[in-house]
Amino acid sequence: MDWALLFFVFLNVVAAMSGGFFAPGKWYEELRKPSWQPPNWAFPTVWSVLYLLNAIAGWMVWKVAGIEGIGFLALSVYVVSLVFNAAWSAIFFGMKRMRLALLEAGLLWASVALQIYLFLQIDSAAGLILFPYLAWVSIAFWLNRTMLRLNPEFA
């Protein structure tokens, strides 16, 4: 059993718990949404796959670089990215602050992009498997932005 891999999975599960704790609920259901919004079942399904890929990528980088030099920087960005990821649900669903959530989603996007850049320097496969994560965060950003526009009373 590789305890390091389990640790990276654990970190991602902790981040994912925010999405379960701050669930969409009635408030979200009543918001106006764009026609292109993915179906509700897609969110937990896609996020589960992305968290698993993120855990594997972090583990791959740790195996190659450890926590020294660029490995320390890359894994620090990794942890910051998980914090941003967990915080979005709390801000959007918990606090119902769509504009602040949009700003936070932009920071999440930037942190994932930087994470990919750093991971590519260490292990190209670890960086490449994160591109779906960046794509999904891009969709989430535009969904947040569009919902803010469609629901200006929550600005």
pTM (whole model) above 0.75: yes
* Span 113-153, pLDDT tens digits: 999 999 999 999 999 999 999 999 999 999 999 999 999 98
User: Tell me: the pLDDT tens digits for 74-107?
Assistant: 999 999 999 999 999 999 999 999 999 999 999 9
Is residue 21 within 8 Å of residue 89, measured between CB atoms? yes
H or E element: which one contains 64? helix 42-65
DSSP 22: S
Domain 3-19+47-154 has CATH 3.40.50.150: no
